[in-house]
Amino acid sequence: MKLRLLPAVLFLAIFFFLPLARILVLSVDASVFTAAHLERAFFVFRFTFYQAFLSTLLTFLLGLPSAFLFARFDFPGKSILRAVTAVPFMLPTVVVAAGFNALLGPHGWLTFLFPQSSFQFTGTLTAILLAHVFYNTTIVIRIVGNALTHLDPRLAQAARVLGADRLRVWTHVTLPLLRAPMLAAALLVFLFDFTSFGVILLLGGPQFSTLEVEIYIQSLQLLNLPMAALLSLIQLLCTLVFSILYARVVERAFVPLMPKPSIARRPKNLREKIFVASFIALLASFFVAPLLSLPLRSVTRLEADRGQRGEIPYGITGDYYSELFVNRRNSVFYVPPLDAARNSLTYAAATVALSLLLGFPAASALIHPNRLTRLLDSFLLLPLGASAVTLGLGYIITFNKPLITDHWLLITSPFIIPLAHTIIALPFVIRTLQPALASIPERLRHAAATLGASPVRVWQTVDLPILARAVLSAATFAFTVSLGEFGAATLLSRPDFPTLPVAIARFLSQPGGMNYGQAMAMSTILMCVTLAGILWIERLRLPGAGEF
Amino acid sequence: MLALKNISKSYESNPLLTDISFTVAAGETVCLLGASGSGKSTLLRIIAGLEAPDAGQVCWGGVDLAAVPPHLRDFGLVFQDYALFPHLSVFDNVAFGLRMRSRNRRSLATLENVAYADEKTLVKEMLDIVNLRGFEARRVTDLSGGEQQRVALARALAPHPRLLMFDEPLGALDRTMKDDLLKELRAILHRTNIPAIYVTHDQEEAFAIADRILLLREGVILREGAPAEVWNDPRSAWAARFLGVGNVVEGKVSNVSGVRYQVETNLGVLKMQCKHRHAVGEHVSLLLRASDTGMKLKAAVEDVAFNRDQFRVTLRGGLMIELERAPKIGAEISVLFAMECLGDA
């Protein structure tokens, strides 16, 4: 066993598998299995499944034609539009929720522009579904679009010459060849919709209880930890099943396709032009509108502040931002937004440090895999499938006992959040570092050495430049993941130490124009920081390195 | 049967095919021979209906096919890298055309009616023809290159198309496999009597399979004729070089008297008669082939390489000949060359 793997494996054992095991133990408690509990659990499970199914369906409705658009046609601004569709996937859920709120919510642009309309958005299933489509369309575009791009056009031509008309080329050749990628994309989208938390809590509200939301409500509001554990168990089993199914589809069912140069071309006839133009317009407006209405709303006053009387001064304002720096109320649990931001930055920095410290040795141990490390490799990736809320619940159950001294509780210490975030970020960090470490061929070092470089010089000139990019990229990734993470933070953050997303959610739920405005302002800042992080990672990506 | 009339096609304003006309008669195998980029694959795709020509017509039995989509043309096309359907078994690949066409036939009475025996028997028969008996249930992705090409051939043959087209079908195979398949292909084409167009860049393949060769250069038909005709009289320096006929030597006309010319070359001044009219100072290409009669040339042996049952001998000055026995390198030998003029260099 390679010792360098040990820290990461130990860390995972204590902060991932132990909490899960505790959930397991708690959930098999006989007292959980009452008729009422089971009925509730089944009800929640059914709704979770239902909304995930609907969301997946709608995501495909938008995603399949979009995948076709990107794979088959060239048009100006194509790479920008593709990037725009991919952005939501990386954004924190609070930002997306705030964006849709700013566009369609009761204090948003739509209500302002059409005050008479009875359109209700927040608190509806529509809101949840829309946000899920917004999040996951890029998965369909990427997986199915990729397969479409690499589909040998000669297969379709062969079918044509053999007597198949255009329709039957689709039904007999193209669709069967796309079946595996479509299934893979569907499973992945479904998995994300199934475990979605922030979007449902913030846009749907507690009446739409999915497993995630119900775990949160049962553990924090009803303090029914055994019930929460039971729900977590169901959640874990479901994600496990979907992950296994996904892995099988990816591994086995993919028909080996010869990579081919792109067959994208400009639209030729009128029908194609109408399709391309209308989908560009649809995608652009669907993906840009929420992201744009958020920053716009954060600098525009549309309604009265709380307690404000008389004429409302509509218009551009910087108040929501300047207000972030002022501590208005001195209530016990009020935390100035600035403090929340400072908390988040501290947690994110700790997450970066911890995940690099654990991830770097692990990644370097995984370069030359043997059977054991290969097993450990997939073991290290397991947290990818677990939901953040379940993780949070596991921590609450596991670490609520005094640990080192009689008084010190890990669960109430500020350390708990970086620990959870490290569990979430670690798989990404290892996956980023490992290929970079592996990409430095021994021959390169030998070449440099025979050219007269000392070992130190070799390290400086060969290893460092390549590694520096990967480390920076991994660090940025861990940073943005921690900064935007909502599920675990909601369960674990102390009221007086909220993170930025938790504070945003709190502001969103409070009445008054000023609170709403501040939520918008903070979301905008979070969005900009995350976008900067995404761009930074994109720029750091080594040419030719895989996506994930 | 098939007639191409003045086909032209350009790609991004570069002419790809210029004014191509030829016919394919019943049972005839026509070979389009040309270097890559000469437009031969595009021509096949135009005949198949997968691309439209900028000008000209593709006719069958005197009827223009412009309005007939590819799936109703009833042609077969075999691709270079086979383009087998990776999601289907060998059986389903071969049966694909049968299934598609039987549906087309139900809705369209325009095509001549071929009575289809039941699918199973027909597929079996096709697999027998291409020597793949018992391969029905195999996955096409598990087959070797040669086996895949046989499946591709069976797939194209199964619906009894009225024309078969081959786009560099043996390009990806090794020599032995190529020779075997070529022999089988000849036999199959002969037996089925289906007219065929065979596209290749390999002159040996072309000579082996064609009833008639069309030499294509940069989208223009340069030479047309039976293999022996083309070989004996390539008519241009490019054709002679491309086909590997004898030695092409360039020179400058230095003296003219009637039909007798003197040409300065790097082999010395050569005297010859020519049917063309040349002026002094004109550059011409000459074709020199080893022969029983003709001009005697003496030269030292520079290199000897074994080539199948003969030796390929390179002489000083670059001339190449094939000899039954290997001479010593450095020895001076004399060879008789027949010489003809190929026109302007």
Pick the residue from chain B with its C-alpha nearest to A176.
B87
Question: Using the 8-state DSSP alphabet, how is residue B38 labeled?
Answer: S
Q: pLDDT per residue over A435-461, tens digit each?
A: 777 777 667 667 777 777 777 777 777
Residues 6 or more apart from A474 whose CB is under 8 A from it? A355, A356, A359, A428, A429, A432, A433
Tell me whether residue B314 is exposed, middle or buried, using C-beta atoms within 10 angstroms of its C-beta: 0 to 12, 13 to 18, 19 or more.
middle
Asked if residue B183 and residue B203 are part of one domain, the reply reads yes
Pick the residue from chain A with its C-alpha nearest to B51.
A157
Residues 6 or more apart from A87 whose CB is under 8 A from it? A287, A291, A531, A534
Q: Can you tell me the distance from the alpha carbon of A488 to that of A255, in angstroms, rounded to the nearest whole number?
A: 39
Beta-carbon separation of A164 and B100 below 8 A: yes
* A-to-B residue pairs, Cβ atoms closer than 8 angstroms: 79
- According to DSSP, the residues that pair with B221 across neighbouring strands are B216
Sheet of B212-217: strand order equals: B75-78, B163-167, B196-200, B29-33, B212-217, B220-225
Indicate if ipTM > 0.90: no
- From A419-428, A461-470, B175-184, B312-321, the region with the lowest mean pLDDT: A461-470
Whether A180 contacts A249, CB under 8 Å: yes
Query: For residue B196, what is the domain's CATH number?
Result: 3.40.50.300
A155, A160, A179 member nearest B71 (Cβ)? A160
Around Cβ A541, how many Cβ atoms within 10 Å? Answer: 14
Closest approach of A252 to chain B, Cα-based (Å):
13
Asked if residue B15 and residue B157 are part of one domain, the reply reads yes
Tokens 């938008």: give the residue. Answer: A62
Whether B267 contacts B317, CB under 8 Å: yes
Which helix or strand (DSSP H or E) is residue B34 part of?
none
Beta-carbon separation of B50 and A152 below 8 A: no
Is residue A494, in this structure, part of any structural domain at all? yes
Asked if residue B170 and residue B33 are part of one domain, the reply reads yes
Phi and psi based region of residue A258 (left: phi greater than 0; alpha: psi -120 to 50; beta: remaining): beta
Return the structure tokens found at B296. Answer: 């005697």
Whether B266 contacts B319, CB under 8 Å: no
Q: Helix crossing, A388-398 with A225-248: angle to 10°?
A: 140
Amino acid at B227: P
Residue B30 has pLDDT above 90, yes or no: yes
> What counts of helices (H) and strands (E) characterise chain A?
25, 2
Is residue A546, in this structure, part of any structural domain at all? no
Q: pLDDT per residue over B34-64, tens digit each?
A: 988 788 889 999 999 988 999 999 999 999 9
Asked if residue B129 and residue B64 are part of one domain, the reply reads yes
- What is the DSSP code string of B146-169? HHHHHHHHHHHHTT--SEEEEEST
Tokens 């709704």: give the residue. Answer: A47
Could you tell me the residue range of the domain that residue B315 belongs to?
Answer: 246-344
Selected for mutation to probe chain A from B100, B103, B108, B116 (highest A CB count within 10 Å) is: B100
Selected for mutation to probe chain A from B50, B126, B160 (highest A CB count within 10 Å) is: B50
Tokens 């407006």: give the residue. Answer: A285
Closest approach of B156 to chain A, Cα-based (Å):
7
Whether B211 contacts B225, CB under 8 Å: no
Tokens 């909601």: give the residue. Answer: A490
User: If we measure between CA atoms, which residue out of A210, A531, A227 comes closest to residue A387?
Assistant: A210
Among B237, B262, B278, the domain boundary falls at B237
For the segment B264-286, the average pLDDT, to the nearest whole number, is 84
Residues 6 or more apart from B212 whose CB is under 8 A from it? B28, B29, B30, B31, B224, B225, B226
Closest approach of A181 to chain B, Cα-based (Å):
13
Among B191, B220, B237, the domain boundary falls at B237
Is residue A548, in this structure, part of any structural domain at all? no
Query: Parallel, antiparallel, or unpaired: how do β-strands B283-307 and B332-344 relate?
Result: antiparallel
User: If we measure between CA atoms, which residue out of B68, B72, B97, B104 comes closest to residue B83?
Assistant: B97
Q: Can you tell me the distance from the alpha carbon of A145 to that of B85, in angstroms, rounded to the nearest whole number?
A: 19
Asked if residue B155 and residue B6 are part of one domain, the reply reads yes
Q: Which residues of B touch A (CB under 8 A)?
A: 45, 48-50, 69-77, 79, 81, 83-87, 96-97, 100-101, 103-104, 141, 155-156, 159
Collect all residues of chain A within an 8 Å Cβ-Cβ radius of residue B81: 154, 258
Collect all residues of chain B within an 8 Å Cβ-Cβ radius of residue A154: 79, 81, 83
Tokens 């017509």: give the residue. Answer: B57
Asked if residue B178 and residue B98 are part of one domain, the reply reads yes
Collect all residues of chain B within an 8 Å Cβ-Cβ radius of residue A261: none
Which parts of B34-128 are beta strand (E)?
A: 55-60, 63-64, 75-78
Using CA atoms, how far residue A16 sits from A434, A481, B301, in Å, is 21, 17, 80
Question: Using the 8-state DSSP alphabet, how is residue B139 labeled?
Answer: B
Tell me whether residue A18 is exposed, middle or buried, using C-beta atoms within 10 angstroms of its C-beta: 0 to 12, 13 to 18, 19 or more.
middle
Asked if residue B150 and residue B288 are part of one domain, the reply reads no
- Residue B58 backbone dihedrals phi, psi, to 5 degrees: -110, 120
Read off the pLDDT band of B135 (50, 70, 90): very high
Q: Can you tell me the distance from the alpha carbon of B233 to that of B342, in angstroms, rounded to the nearest whole number?
A: 9
Closest approach of A73 to chain B, Cα-based (Å):
18
Q: Which residues of A touch B (CB under 8 A)?
A: 152, 154-155, 157-165, 168, 172-173, 176-177, 179, 255-258
Is residue A387, in this structure, part of any structural domain at all? yes
Collect all residues of chain A within an 8 Å Cβ-Cβ radius of residue B101: 162-163
Collect all residues of chain A within an 8 Å Cβ-Cβ radius of residue B49: 160-161
Beta-carbon separation of B77 and A155 below 8 A: no
Which helix or strand (DSSP H or E) is residue A301 part of?
strand A300-301
Using CA atoms, how far residue A453 sits from A31, A134, A460, B142, in Å, is 69, 52, 10, 48
- The per-residue b/e assignment along A190-199, b for 16 or more CB within 10 angstroms, e otherwise, is bbbbbbbbbb
Among B197, B216, B237, the domain boundary falls at B237
Asked if residue B254 and residue B233 are part of one domain, the reply reads no
Beta-carbon separation of A165 and B71 below 8 A: yes
Collect all residues of chain B within an 8 Å Cβ-Cβ radius of residue A256: 86, 141
Q: Can you tell me the distance from the alpha carbon of A210 to that of A128, in angstroms, rounded to the nearest whole number?
A: 11
Tell me whether residue B17 is exposed, middle or buried, using C-beta atoms within 10 angstroms of its C-beta: 0 to 12, 13 to 18, 19 or more.
buried
Q: Can you tell me the distance from the alpha carbon of A369 to that of A336, in angstroms, rounded to the nearest whole number?
A: 49
- What is the DSSP code string of A148-164? HHHS-HHHHHHHHHTT-
B77, B85, B87 member nearest A161 (Cβ)? B77
Collect all residues of chain B within an 8 Å Cβ-Cβ radius of residue A268: none
Could you tell me the residue range of the domain that residue A297 belongs to?
Answer: 3-8+15-540
For the segment B334-342, the average pLDDT, to the nearest whole number, is 85
Closest approach of A491 to chain B, Cα-based (Å):
48
Collect all residues of chain B within an 8 Å Cβ-Cβ radius of residue A179: 87
Q: pLDDT per residue over B88-119, tens digit each?
A: 899 999 999 888 887 776 544 444 444 455 78
Asked if residue B233 and residue B250 are part of one domain, the reply reads no
Query: Parallel, antiparallel, or unpaired: how do β-strands B320-323 and B268-273 relate?
Result: unpaired
Collect all residues of chain A within an 8 Å Cβ-Cβ radius of residue B50: 157, 160-161
Asked if residue B255 and residue B163 are part of one domain, the reply reads no
> What counts of helices (H) and strands (E) characterise chain B?
8, 17
Closest approach of B7 to chain A, Cα-based (Å):
20
Is residue A545, in this structure, part of any structural domain at all? no
Asked if residue B25 and residue B157 are part of one domain, the reply reads yes
Asked if residue B38 and residue B166 are part of one domain, the reply reads yes
Taking 70 as the pLDDT cut, the residues of chain A under it are 1-2, 30, 252-262, 303-314, 325-335, 369, 373-374, 378, 385, 402-409, 411-412, 441-442, 444-445, 541-548
Considering only residues A30 and B203, tell me which one the structure prediction assigns the higher pLDDT: B203
Is residue A153, in this structure, part of any structural domain at all? yes
- The per-residue b/e assignment along B196-235, b for 16 or more CB within 10 angstroms, e otherwise, is bbbbbbebebbbbbbbbbbbbbbbebbbebebeebbeebb
- What is the DSSP code string of A390-406? HHHHHHHHHS-SB-SSS
Length of chain A measured in residues: 548
Q: Can you tell me the distance from the alpha carbon of B169 to that of B158, in angstroms, rounded to the nearest whole number?
A: 17
Around Cβ B102, how many Cβ atoms within 10 Å? Answer: 14
Return the structure tokens found at B81. Answer: 């890298």
Number of domains in chain B: 2
Helix, strand or coil for residue B261?
strand
Return the structure tokens found at B219. Answer: 């989208």
Number of domains in chain A: 1
Question: Using the 8-state DSSP alphabet, how is residue B113 labeled?
Answer: P
Query: For residue A419, what is the domain's CATH number?
Result: 1.10.3720.10
Closest approach of B104 to chain A, Cα-based (Å):
7
Cα A323 vs. chain centroid, distance in angstroms?
29
Which helix or strand (DSSP H or E) is residue A210 part of?
none
Closest approach of B97 to chain A, Cα-based (Å):
5
Tokens 């990967």: give the residue. Answer: A470
Using CA atoms, how far residue B59 sits from A75, A424, B123, in Å, is 37, 66, 30
Closest approach of A256 to chain B, Cα-based (Å):
7
